């Protein structure tokens, strides 16, 4: 299945160079439920139902796309249906905007989210190393794509934007993109035709740690306190259009693709310190101790979780160790491979001999000073580079 998708996407990308519009005609696949010859339901996720549940916010915090739906979502996003769905929302937005009577004091604003609302990351999502979010989210990779500043406009969005301007609205872009990307975002917006705006609000360091919902609510509240009237608010994520001061009317732009990996959620789980031992690991650990080995735990977990990690390790039977190395602030920005290599090199420089090295990620056991012998622990769930 994945191979088929890969070839499908490769074909699209190979025939689509920089100046070709990504939303081509002709990539149309029927949006029918999974049904057998006589209309009987097939086992498994019905991808159309799944998409509807996502768009209506009935399904929340779903993490990543069901693997069986990656092909369906790919066809949906690259085919006609996504464009039609977006254009219809734009029609409704324009009809609503035209029905309003503006005060004319420059305080009537329309808020746009950026990604998948104003600018489309489709060329990124359609890549064979992203697969519409069915593959694990890679922050570095996504940021590299953002830095290229090559995102096209979302279908219908430019039409809405121009109409709003002609009606006298002021435009506010409110995005979760970090401040550091301001220049490339501006270049990208201008390149596709968004030439003017009242404000372009990006995420500052002070907003770090806020959920998308809290961040957007906070910024909108600041706008309202500054005397702006939010008459319309368009976003592809429910967190764009829920919360405080959402505006007189909100519009949900279609987007059934995977949202980024939720580190808050994973960290909450780590903080619970309830992870059981991996099968076989405790037996190996005890045997190594009895043979006289010293144990070094080397993990990508952040230092702030030291206490909960220790509690968790002890709770399941790992009582002693030579070192428990966690990721420090100074290691931020290093890939897992570079971080682990650096730490192992420090151990070797301190005179330790690494005789064995066990990890579930290839980045645990590749790089420098990997040890006399490495062991790959099974883990088909995720990949850390």
Q: CB of 47 within 8 A of CB of 68?
A: yes
Nearer CB in complex with ligand NAG: 98/265: 265
Give the CA radius of gyration of the chain: 25
Binding segment toward ligand NAG, per CB under 6 A, in 64-72, 75-83, 98-106, 257-265: 257-265
Q: Which residues pair with 35 in a beta bridge?
A: 41
Binding segment toward ligand NAG, per CB under 6 A, in 26-34, 68-76, 77-85, 211-219: 211-219
- Residue 367 contacts ligand NAG per CB under 6 A: yes
- Residue 11 contacts ligand NAG per CB under 6 A: no
- Among 97, 130, 259, 347, which residue interacts with ligand NAG (rule: CB under 6 A)? 259
- Residue 359 contacts ligand NAG per CB under 6 A: no
Please give the DSSP secondary-structure letter assigned to residue 322: S
> Between residue 145 and residue 184, which ones bind ligand NAG under the rule CB under 6 A?
none
> Between residue 276 and residue 335, which ones bind ligand NAG under the rule CB under 6 A?
none
Going along 261-348, which residue ranges are E strands? 296-302, 323-327
- Residue 265 contacts ligand NAG per CB under 6 A: yes
Q: Which two tokens stand for residue 225?
A: 């306190």
Q: Which residue's beta carbon is nearest to the bound ligand NAG?
A: 385
- Among 69, 97, 337, 365, which residue interacts with ligand NAG (rule: CB under 6 A)? 337
Instruction: Tell me how far, at minimum, the Cβ of 101 lies from ligand NAG, in Å.
Output: 29
Q: Is the dihedral of CA 364, 309, 344, 357 positive or negative?
A: negative
Nearer CB in complex with ligand NAG: 89/365: 365
- Residue 241 contacts ligand NAG per CB under 6 A: no
Helix axes 47-55 and 70-78, enclosed angle (nearest 10): 70
Nearer CB in complex with ligand NAG: 90/134: 134
User: β-strand 108-112 against 170-178: which pairing, if any?
Assistant: parallel
Binding segment toward ligand NAG, per CB under 6 A, in 82-90, 108-116, 309-317, 377-385: 377-385
- Residue 370 contacts ligand NAG per CB under 6 A: no
Instruction: Tell me how far, at minimum, the Cβ of 322 lies from ligand NAG, in Å.
Output: 22
Give every CB contact of residue 296 below 8 A, 6+ residues apart in sequence.
321, 322, 323, 324, 325, 347, 352
- Residue 17 contacts ligand NAG per CB under 6 A: no
Q: CB of 296 within 8 A of CB of 325?
A: yes
Instruction: Tell me how far, at minimum, the Cβ of 233 lies from ligand NAG, in Å.
Output: 14
Other CB atoms closer than 10 Å to residue 332's CB: what's the count? 9
Q: Which residues pair with 171 in a beta bridge?
A: 110
Nearest to 332 by CA among 300, 364, 367: 300
- Residue 57 contacts ligand NAG per CB under 6 A: no
Nearest to 333 by CA among 139, 151, 192: 139
User: β-strand 296-302 against 323-327: which pairing, if any?
Assistant: parallel
- Residue 246 contacts ligand NAG per CB under 6 A: no
Q: Tell me the C-alpha distance between 172 and 227, whole Å.
A: 14
Going along 81-169, which residue ranges are E strands? 108-112
Q: CB of 310 within 8 A of CB of 326?
A: no
Instruction: Tell me how far, at minimum, the Cβ of 375 lies from ligand NAG, in Å.
Output: 19
Instruction: Tell me how far, at minimum, the Cβ of 314 lies from ligand NAG, in Å.
Output: 26
> Between residue 124 and residue 143, which ones bind ligand NAG under the rule CB under 6 A?
138, 140-141
Give every CB contact of residue 216 below 8 A, 6+ residues apart in sequence.
174, 176, 239, 240, 243
- Among 120, 121, 312, 341, which residue interacts with ligand NAG (rule: CB under 6 A)? 341
3-state DSSP call for residue 111? strand
Q: Give the number of residues in contact with ligand NAG, rule: CB under 6 A.
A: 25
Nearer CB in complex with ligand NAG: 155/256: 256
Q: Which residues pair with 174 in a beta bridge?
A: 201
- Residue 338 contacts ligand NAG per CB under 6 A: yes
Nearer CB in complex with ligand NAG: 117/341: 341
> Between residue 76 and residue 135, which ones bind ligand NAG under the rule CB under 6 A?
none
Please give the DSSP secondary-structure letter assigned to residue 276: P
Q: Which residues bind ligand NAG (CB under 6 A)?
A: 61, 138, 140-141, 144, 211-214, 217, 243-244, 259, 262, 264-265, 268, 337-338, 341, 367-368, 383-385
């Amino acid at each position: 299945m994945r191979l088929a998708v890969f070839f499908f996407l490769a074909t699209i990308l190979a025939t689509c160079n920089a100046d070709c519009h990504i939303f081509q005609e002709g990539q149309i696949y029927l949006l029918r439920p999974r049904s057998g010859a006589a209309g009987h339901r097939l086992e498994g996720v019905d991808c159309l139902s799944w998409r509807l549940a996502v768009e209506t916010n009935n399904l929340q915090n779903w993490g990543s796309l069901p693997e069986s739906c990656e092909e369906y979502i790919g066809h949906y996003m690259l085919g006609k249906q996504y464009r039609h769905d977006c254009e219809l929302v734009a029609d409704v937005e324009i009809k609503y905007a035209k029905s309003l009577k503006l005060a004319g004091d420059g305080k009537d604003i329309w808020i746009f989210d950026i990604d998948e609302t104003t600018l489309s990351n489709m060329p990124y999502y359609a890549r064979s190393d992203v697969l519409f979010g069915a593959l694990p989210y890679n922050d570095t990779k996504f940021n590299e794509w953002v830095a290229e500043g090559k995102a096209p406009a979302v279908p219908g969005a430019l039409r809405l934007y121009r109409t709003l301007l002609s009606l006298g609205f002021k435009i506010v872009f409110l995005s979760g993109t970090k401040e550091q990307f301001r220049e490339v975002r501006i270049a990208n917006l201008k390149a596709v035709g968004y030439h003017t705006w009242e404000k372009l609000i990006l995420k500052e360091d002070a907003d770090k740690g806020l959920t998308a919902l809290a961040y957007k609510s906070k910024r909108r509240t600041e706008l309202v306190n500054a005397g702006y009237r939010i008459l319309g608010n368009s976003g592809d994520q429910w967190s764009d259009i829920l919360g405080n001061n959402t505006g007189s009317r909100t519009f949900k732009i279609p987007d059934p693709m995977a949202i980024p990996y939720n580190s808050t959620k994973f960290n909450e789980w780590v903080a619970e310190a309830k992870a059981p031992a991996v099968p076989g690991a405790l037996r190996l650990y005890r045997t190594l101790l009895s043979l006289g080995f010293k144990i070094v735990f080397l993990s990508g977990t952040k230092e702030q979780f030291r206490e909960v990690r220790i509690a968790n390790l002890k709770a399941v039977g790992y009582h002693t160790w030579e070192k428990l190395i966690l990721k420090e602030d100074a290691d931020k920005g290093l890939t897992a491979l570079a971080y682990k290599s650096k730490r192992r090199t420090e151990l070797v420089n301190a005179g330790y001999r690494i005789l064995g090295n066990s990890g579930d990620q290839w980045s645990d056991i590749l790089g420098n000073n990997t040890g006399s012998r490495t062991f790959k622990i099974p883990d088909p769930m995720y990949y850390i580079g």
